[in-house]
């Protein structure tokens, strides 16, 4: 992965883990990630699906995992985003739904 940025490497590692979809409410916390997503494309990196709120993003990731059996990734804003997603992530944990939470 020589010559890749940290964000590009993260996306390729997620894809190597089997992650096909990233769910998020976009924000400035992850600017390098958004730039890498604009530069790189499926199937080399996961496909990005946007949500207007972290709770919705968790619901989308949970539904995706339940419907497909595939591992989703969830990207959250620092502090407030994690707070908004807490109950949905907890519910997914109790239902034993796997997901990568960043």
Bridge partners (DSSP) listed for residue 40: none
Number of structural domains the chain divides into: 1
pLDDT-derived band at 56 (thresholds 50, 70, 90) equals: very high
Tell whether the model's pLDDT for residue 27 goes beyond 90. Answer: no
pLDDT at 78: 86
Q: In whole angstroms, give the CA distance from residue 64 to residue 93.
A: 15
pLDDT tens for 4-13 read 999 999 999 9
Q: Which CATH number does the domain housing residue 24 bear?
A: 3.40.50.970
Q: How big is the CA angle at 97 (ends 86 and 20), to the nearest 5 degrees?
A: 100
Segments forming the whole domain that contains residue 26: 6-101
In a domain, 76, yes or no: yes
In a domain, 1, yes or no: no
């Amino acid at each position: 992965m020589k010559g890749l940025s940290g964000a590009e490497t993260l996306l390729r590692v997620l894809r190597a883990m089997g992650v096909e979809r990233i769910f998020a409410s976009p924000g400035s916390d992850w600017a390098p990630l958004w730039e890498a997503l604009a530069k790189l494309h499926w199937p080399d990196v996961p496909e990005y699906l946007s949500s207007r709120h972290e709770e919705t993003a968790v619901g989308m990731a949970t539904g995706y995992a339940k419907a497909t059996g595939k591992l989703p990734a969830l990207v959250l804003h620092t502090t407030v985003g994690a707070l908004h997603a807490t109950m949905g992530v907890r519910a997914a944990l109790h239902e034993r739904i796997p997901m990568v939470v960043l």
